[in-house]
A and B are shown apart, each in its own frame.
Chain A
Amino acid sequence: MTRRQLWLRFIAHIDRQLMLGIGLLLLTSLLVLYSADNASWDRPLRQMLNILVALGCMWLIANLPLHYLMRTAVPIYVLGMILLILVALFGEISHGARRWLNLGIANLQPSELMKIGVPLMMAWYFEKHEATLTLKNYFIAALLLIMPIALIARQPDLGTSILILASGFYVLFLAGLSWRVMGVLLVAAIGSAPVLWSMLHEYQRHRILMLFDPSQDALGNGYHTIQATIAVGSGGIIGKGYLNGTQTHLDFLPERTTDFIFAVYSEEFGLLGSIILLALYSFVIWRGFIITANASTYFTRLMAGSITLTFATYAFVNMGMVSGILPVVGVPLPLISYGGTSMLTLLLGFGMLMSIETHKKLVRT
Chain B
Amino acid sequence: MNKRVEFKNHQREIFQFQLRLVVSIGFVLLLLAILLVRFIYLQAVRHGYYQTLAESNRISIVPIVPNRGLILDRNGEVLARNYSGYTLEINQNKTTDLEATINELAKLIEITPKDRKRFKKLVAESHDFQTLMIRNRLSDEEVARFAAQKYRFPAVEIKARLFRDYPLGEKTAHLIGYIGRINEEDVALLEEQNLAANYRGSDYIGKTGLEQSYENDLHGTTGIEQVEVDAGGRAVRMLSHSSPVSGNTLVLSIDAKLQEIAEQSFGNYRGALVAIDPNNGEVLAFVSKPGYDPNPFIDGIDPQSWDELNNSPDVPLNNRALRGQYPPGSTIKPFMAMAGLFYNERSPSYTISDPGYFTLPGSSRQYRDWKKGGHGSVNMFKAIQMSCDIYFYGLATELGIDNMFDYLSRYGFGKKTGIDLEGESSGLLPSQDWKMKRYQQKWYTGDTVSAGIGQGYNLVTPVQLAFATATLANDGVAYKPHLVKEVRSSNGNEKRLIASEPVYDLKIDPAHLKLVKSAMVAVTQPGGTAVYSALGAPYHIAGKTGTAQVIAMKQGEKYDEKAVDERHRDHAWFIAFAPAEEPRIALVVLAENGGHGASTAAPIARKVLDYYLLGKVPKPMTDVKEKEGSEND
- Which A positions have Cβ atoms within 8 angstroms of B? 130-131, 170, 173-174, 176, 227, 229-237, 246-247, 250-252, 266, 270-271, 274-275, 278, 281-282, 285, 289, 292-293, 298, 301, 305, 308-309, 312-313, 316, 319-320, 323-325
Contact of B18 among A234, A270, A281, A293 (CB under 8 A): A293
A233 contacts B21, CB within 8 Å?
no
Across the interface, which residues of B come within 8 angstroms of A312, CB to CB? 28, 31
A237 contacts B231, CB within 8 Å?
no
Across the interface, which residues of B come within 8 angstroms of A278, CB to CB? 32, 35-36, 39
Question: Can you pick out 5 interface pairs between chain A and chain B where the beta carbons lie within 8 Å of each other?
Answer: A170-B24, A235-B47, A247-B54, A251-B230, A325-B38
For the complex of A and B, the 6 pairs showing the least CB-CB separation, nearest first, are A233-B50, A234-B54, A271-B43, A251-B231, A250-B230, A233-B42
Total number of residue pairs linking A and B with CB closer than 8 Å = 127
**Are A325 and B46 also in contact (CB < 8 A) when A233-B51, A252-B57, A289-B25 are?**
no
Across the interface, which residues of A come within 8 angstroms of B38, CB to CB? 320, 323-325
Q: For the complex, what is the distance from the CA of A227 to the CA of B44, rounded to whole Å? A: 17
B20 contacts A173, CB within 8 Å?
yes
B39 contacts A271, CB within 8 Å?
yes
**In the complex, what's the smallest C-beta–C-beta distance from B594 to chain A, in angstroms?**
66
B47 contacts A236, CB within 8 Å?
yes
B228 within 8 A of A: yes
B24 contacts A305, CB within 8 Å?
yes
Closest to A271 in B: B43
User: A270-B43, A316-B31 provided; 17 other pairs, C-beta below 8 A?
Assistant: A131-B9, A170-B24, A174-B21, A176-B20, A232-B50, A233-B50, A235-B43, A246-B54, A252-B57, A274-B43, A281-B32, A282-B32, A289-B21, A305-B24, A309-B27, A319-B35, A324-B42
**Are A266 and B54 also in contact (CB < 8 A) when A174-B20, A176-B13, A251-B232 are?**
no
Q: For the complex, what is the distance from the CA of A298 to the CA of B34, rounded to whole Å? A: 31
Q: For the complex, what is the distance from the CA of A247 to the CA of B59, rounded to whole Å? A: 11
Binary interface profile of B, 52-85, with partner A (CB < 8 Å = 1, else 0)? 0111011000000000000000000000000000
Contact of B17 among A237, A301, A319 (CB under 8 A): A301
Across the interface, which residues of B come within 8 angstroms of A274, CB to CB? 39, 43
Q: How large is the interface on B (under 10, 10 to 19, 20 to 34, 35 or more residues)?
A: 35 or more
Across the interface, which residues of A come within 8 angstroms of B236, CB to CB? 250
Across the interface, which residues of A come within 8 angstroms of B17, CB to CB? 174, 176, 301
A266 contacts B43, CB within 8 Å?
yes
Across the interface, which residues of A come within 8 angstroms of B230, CB to CB? 250-252
B99 within 8 A of A: no
Main secondary structure of the interface of A (DSSP, over half): helix
B350 within 8 A of A: no
**In the complex, what's the smallest C-beta–C-beta distance from A175 to chain B, in angstroms?**
8
Across the interface, which residues of B come within 8 angstroms of A324, CB to CB? 38, 42
Contact of B24 among A281, A309, A325 (CB under 8 A): A309
B42 contacts A229, CB within 8 Å?
yes
Q: For the complex, what is the distance from the CA of A131 to the CA of B5, rounded to whole Å? A: 8
Across the interface, which residues of B come within 8 angstroms of A174, CB to CB? 17, 20-21, 24
Across the interface, which residues of B come within 8 angstroms of A252, CB to CB? 57-58, 230-231
Contact of B13 among A251, A298, A313 (CB under 8 A): A298
Across the interface, which residues of B come within 8 angstroms of A234, CB to CB? 47, 50-51, 53-55
**Are A230 and B21 also in contact (CB < 8 A) when A235-B43, A237-B47, A316-B31 are?**
no
Q: Which of B35, B42, B46, B58 has the most CB of A within 10 A?
A: B42
Q: For the complex, what is the distance from the CA of A267 to the CA of B582, rounded to whole Å? A: 82
**In the complex, what's the smallest C-beta–C-beta distance from A273 to chain B, in angstroms?**
9
Closest to B43 in A: A271
**In the complex, what's the smallest C-beta–C-beta distance from A268 to chain B, in angstroms?**
12
Closest to B30 in A: A316
**Are A230 and B39 also in contact (CB < 8 A) when A176-B20, A251-B231, A271-B44 are?**
no
A237 contacts B44, CB within 8 Å?
yes
Across the interface, which residues of A come within 8 angstroms of B406, CB to CB? none
A275 contacts B39, CB within 8 Å?
yes
Contact of A292 among B21, B31, B32, B232 (CB under 8 A): B21
Across the interface, which residues of A come within 8 angstroms of B93, CB to CB? none
**Are A231 and B43 also in contact (CB < 8 A) when A173-B20, A250-B228, A250-B231 are?**
no
